[in-house]
Structure 1
């Protein structure tokens, strides 16, 4: 076999780089971190910490209708996306040749939208509250993982996932009619437990890793405080509100293609189609409105927020080691979005993105990596929640605005340490 070319790569130098930029996620529903399992698949004992920031520009033009826009006013919504930051961290311990333990922290789902002041009164209330429609939602995950290798190179892993969720939102402006203009809902923080399960195959000499990871949905019952301009809203008994954060599946693959280069891929599915929320007072008020609007033909009301389609995303990239201390990567990503038209609380239909990353290895046991990713956000129309109701002729009235030519830039910084 002497003289045959080899495909051996140096995973210490570039093994982590190939998955760095792809971890920055943005565009579908509440999607944020991408819920990567890859830190747990590192060889030996390993720890990392990550900081991400996303600067988005999202604006639209409201439909030219008297019920949405005041006379002689610009129909521009202004930039509704707030700049956001989030963090992830991981610790992996190789206890024996066959047994490993890991702890992963991430913030998988998030929303931060605020419609700015506009005289058109479409999504901003110029008369009473002098506020715009806003949504602020945060989640945190702590995954405890145990891995076992029944045979060399193959590992099965799984464990519990503790998750917390909280949210605060307000509806403002003509777009929500007189009934809902001034509506506020506060979802008090709750914590629940789900689980993850997966398997991986690795050949370290080739920097080859393949993994499939499933995360379960997590069910909640929230106490939601609902009011109109601060006055409690009580049309029905205040039962708890059901909500489920979605199940997901990640498929990860990377392999060396030469002594200095590797390719990598991530495929992700998120079950957003099952996500919906409808607090009791909001639901009761929506039933009253729809009964009056349809002359009693439809009395079931509508949801505060929901998504029509599951999310699918894919990332393909290339990493290259230039010297013992420096490496770089680039990748392209596609995101399907979760439906068109989209909610006014998330007016994006998927994205295409291009990422660039660089990694510096001061020593063999630790590294620093940085990355940037540019997103071309998908164009969409927005709807008010009644668009998908089984009512003939409702769609043109439910559509409210066009969101086009929007973008986002995400930045990331990673510190990795082997011990």
Structure 2
């Protein structure tokens, strides 16, 4: 069972490049497979994800303990698809500058979020408007909308990874380098789940793009004669301080009495630390022109949180007023209770000199349950198919598709973080991912 290195590279290049609807903010999976290709190599690709994430309000849900659930009229109401389609490109360039020295540049978008609830979802009983405060503040509002605007979130990151590899022998490759990362985001919270104008139901944050640098290190081992290759890669956390404009209305700042002090528009700084991660990749030939492959990924989401300054001020005021008993000392905009673990296994096969393909199965643990209303899924199972066409030996076009069964989850606003409490359930959801990649060896 002897496989040529180029043939093996052809088989593995077909691995579906569709990314994932993964735990927390994870997107690209941060692969360095292109850097471990033989010789000089370039690739570029794009992945698209089309999620369908809908749910319903909990039985017995009410926006305020003083309002009977039956009167509020929101319990068990449906929540429309809030998962937005998104795409992310990737590219890689690798040079074998000497027999034992390689350099590479990788581009990807490792983390992100894109979600929007619907103003068409059910609203609270309009009759609440005649009951005085605080009930009147919830009239017509849904869990995640205020009748005119809905809760939305968008986060984008971009990475440039600079790699230097040293190969002391044919079998070993030691590599490391720097990672330049940018991050930006926008969020608006609307609806009764965030306490309407009493609390954070009119909160907005515009986080300007910030850049920072981290590092990467790893090692790979290969036995080309049997198509065996294993690599272990560590990426550091990266610290950001994003200039942020926070604005909105929170009556808790004025003792629940309407007044100018409830309105804020503050320019602040938001500290964000994107998480450290470890990727373990393995492949081996199992018969002529056939390889088995596996990937295991760990991401440290348990230590990740975001608390913009004004958001923190409002959350602390809510705690001091006794309105958020689950977190009396304030709370974060986003946080997770667990680290993410994910795994993919599959088989790739070269059919002839022009065609190759693969099948794969993937699993993701999620990052806790209950989870934030801004990303209400808990991991997934998926199946993937990839197909590659090589018109000539030195270039190819590959496509891949994955179908995701998304994990059922209880969704909680930030004020309930760290408890088993929730406001809604999201079940039986799914996503479809697909992608295209082109590669060239020179």
- Is the shorter-chain TM-score for this pair beyond 0.5, marking a shared fold? yes
CA contact (8 A) 1:355 1:371 kept: yes
CA RMSD of superposed structures (Å) = 2.3
**Partner Cα separation in structure 2 for residue 296 and residue 141 of structure 1:** 39
**Partner Cα separation in structure 1 for residue 299 and residue 326 of structure 2:** 35
Distance change >3 Å, CA 358–CA 98, structure 1 → 2: same
CA contact (8 A) 2:247 2:264 kept: no
Q: 1:99 aligns with which of 98, 101, 112?
A: 101
* 1:262 maps onto 2:291 in alignment: yes
Q: 2:116 aligns with which of 104, 114, 134?
A: 114
Distance change >3 Å, CA 256–CA 201, structure 1 → 2: same
Alignment of 1:139-150 (within 5 A): 139-150=157-168
Alignment of 1:200-239 (within 5 A): 200-228=220-248, 239=268
CA contact (8 A) 1:52 1:413 kept: yes
* 1:43 maps onto 2:64 in alignment: no
* 1:194 maps onto 2:214 in alignment: yes
- Secondary structure of the residue aligned to 1:25 is coil
Counterpart in the other structure of 2:146: 125
| 1:127-168 alpha-carbon deviations (Å, 9 max, x no partner) | xxx111000000000000000112222010000000000000
Q: CA deviation at 1:125?
A: 1.2
| 1:282-316 alpha-carbon deviations (Å, 9 max, x no partner) | 11111111111269997411111011110000100
- Secondary structure of the residue aligned to 1:24 is coil
TM-score (norm 1): 0.91
Question: Is the deviation greater in 22-31 or in 233-242?
Answer: 233-242
Q: CA deviation at 1:249?
A: 0.3
CA contact (8 A) 2:404 2:432 kept: yes
Q: Which runs of 5+ in 2 are unaligned?
A: 124-141, 251-259
Alignment of 1:17-416 (within 5 A): 17-18=11-12, 20-21=15-16, 24-64=19-59, 65-67=61-63, 70-71=72-73, 75-117=77-119, 118-120=121-123, 121-126=142-147, 130-178=148-196, 179-228=199-248, 239-293=268-322, 299-388=328-417, 395=420, 398-416=421-439
**Partner Cα separation in structure 2 for residue 133 and residue 295 of structure 1:** 20
CA contact (8 A) 1:17 1:358 kept: no
Counterpart in the other structure of 1:8: 2
**Partner Cα separation in structure 2 for residue 141 and residue 29 of structure 1:** 18
**Partner Cα separation in structure 1 for residue 94 and residue 281 of structure 2:** 18
Distance change >3 Å, CA 277–CA 234, structure 1 → 2: farther
Q: CA deviation at 1:74?
A: 6.7
Number of residues paired by the alignment?
A: 404
CA contact (8 A) 2:370 2:411 kept: yes
CA contact (8 A) 1:14 1:327 kept: no
Distance change >3 Å, CA 296–CA 201, structure 1 → 2: closer
**Partner Cα separation in structure 1 for residue 391 and residue 235 of structure 2:** 35
- Secondary structure of the residue aligned to 2:415 is coil
**Partner Cα separation in structure 2 for residue 253 and residue 106 of structure 1:** 21
Counterpart in the other structure of 2:126: none
- Secondary structure of the residue aligned to 2:12 is helix
